[in-house]
Amino acid sequence: MDDKPRNLKTLLAESKDASELMVDLAYAALYFDDEGMAEAVLGLEEEMSDLVHEMRSLAMLAVRHPREVDGMSSVLQVVSSIEQIANAAVDIGKIVLRNIGIPRALVVDLAEAAEVSHRLVVAEGSHLSNRPLSDMELPIVVGMRVVAIQRGRRWLTDVGGDEVVEAGDALFMRGEPAGIVRLRELAAAQPWIPPEADTSNLLTDLDRAVDTLVEMKNISETAIGLAYSALVLQDLSLAREVRALEERLDEMKVSLQTWVLRAAADDVDPSQLRGLLHLAEAAEDIGDQALQIVSLVLDQEDVHPVLALALGDTDDVVVQVPVAPGSSADDATLGSLGLAVDPGYHVLAVRRASRYIYNPRKTVTLRAGDELLASGPEEGRERLAALCGYAMAVDEETGMVDLTPAN
């Protein structure tokens, strides 16, 4: 993060990215039991405090007339939510720094995520040092991308292909867990062995608590992504979806507390149980902030246009499309459909009956009756509907989209 003068739009975009990076790193610190990652989260907290102070100052200075107050209050509300998301990440990081502990089963479950974050320091003379990122083609070679670089006390969060990696840089990566071993080889870092579950003495109640917490993590992260989309697109149905997810998080937290209390009676290490409760609190806090963001849409508040400019590309739309029996999507894996390439859509979640599959992997097989929640370009919307077995019609008077079975 540099010291150049920045406007409110730039600061909002930077703080949103920083808060999401903090959450990624905090969970990764748990996964790798890495105090360096946890310390990085606390370092970013200092940067975030400066950003929040600067944004609030600019927001107040920008109001020159009483009629502008309502619109600018929406900016302050989003700033507050971004700050609280960052605070939740700090709370997660402190689990590592204070050695509170978590069950090993949770670490193994986190390894099953479609994407994980990782931190590594580039050694002098390694394949990564003194080369631009574009030459390395890391997303192709190891399936991971650089999301930020820590160079001394400086943070580079807007990382492009022309950025030259230097020896001593701490790279913060995100991508497929399978790529971590090869990535560390390229950086001449210490080898890493993926965790394995200890199945000798796993307790049912503890298992349930761990499974619930992993789902809470996925739901909370998905809720934030959907909340930003709902705000940018002013999408009421999407805002209602976020509200439903937040209510689900509240219910899951109660269930998790029940499993933890039951596990406590089975002579389980209490520090592990404390860690679960800390994580549940943080995940619920993140979900609460997602609800705060979409409350601007649900309550039909005046929203300042700078939020749409800063928080997302308004050319993208978020759509909900059911899978029809016999369609191309029916009984096909997400990987085989190649939706990210054509029509250019990213699947945020798959709703199957009353449950969601959040951030689904390429190996997830779609079934008739599933509903895709995906984001992508407006021009690809008709193609996505066709793959799912529907024809798309737009009402010329209302602009509403109607899906009818293609057959």
- DSSP secondary structure of 79-127: HHHHHHHHHHHHHHHHHHHTT----HHHHHHHTTSS-EEEEEEPPTTST
Question: Distance between CA atoms of 403 and 385, rounded to whole angstroms?
Answer: 8
CB 318 within 8 A of CB 226: yes
Burial-class residue 18 by CB neighbours within 10 Å (0-12, 13-18, 19+): buried
Question: Distance between CA atoms of 80 and 289, rounded to whole angstroms?
Answer: 9
CB 311 within 8 A of CB 227: no
> What does the pLDDT read at residue 383?
93
Token reading at 324: 């029809």
For residue 72, give the H/E element and its range: helix 69-97
CB 109 within 8 A of CB 18: no
CB 29 within 8 A of CB 180: no
Among 93, 110, 117, smallest CA distance to 173 is for 117
Q: What is the DSSP string of 219-287?
A: HHHHHHHHHHHHHHHT-HHHHHHHHHHHHHHHHHHHHHHHHHHHHHTTT--HHHHHHHHHHHHHHHHHH
Question: Distance between CA atoms of 105 and 91, rounded to whole angstroms?
Answer: 21
> What does the pLDDT read at residue 90?
95
Amino acid identity of 62? A
197-247 confidence digits (pLDDT tens) = 555 554 467 777 778 888 888 888 888 888 888 888 788 888 998 999 999
Task: Count Cβ neighbours within 10 Å for each residue of 113-123 and write b for 16 or more, e otherwise.
Answer: beebbbbbbbe
Residues of the chain with pLDDT under 70: 1-5, 111-115, 194-204, 267-268, 312-316, 396-400
Among 155, 158, 176, 168, smallest CA distance to 128 is for 168
5: Cα separation from own chain's centroid: 28
Q: For the chain, which domains are there?
A: 8-110+202-308 (1.20.58.220), 116-186 (3.30.70.1450), 315-405 (3.30.70.1450)
> What does the pLDDT read at residue 354?
72
Look over the chain and give the mean of its residue pLDDT values, rounded to a whole number.
84
314-373 confidence digits (pLDDT tens) = 456 778 899 999 999 999 999 899 887 788 888 888 888 877 787 787 889 999 999 998
> What does the pLDDT read at residue 4?
54
For residue 311, give the H/E element and its range: helix 305-311
As a dihedral over the C-alpha atoms of residue 194, residue 199, residue 203, residue 208, rounded to 10 degrees, the angle is: 50
Question: For tokens 């003194």, what's the residue?
Answer: 130
Among 180, 223, 251, smallest CA distance to 359 is for 223
Token reading at 345: 């859509």
Residue 59's CB is within 10 A of a number of other CB atoms, namely 20
Q: Beta strands 170-175 and 144-151: pairing type?
A: antiparallel
Note the helical H segments in 112-235.
Answer: 133-136, 138-141, 180-186, 204-233
> What does the pLDDT read at residue 366?
96
> What does the pLDDT read at residue 314?
47
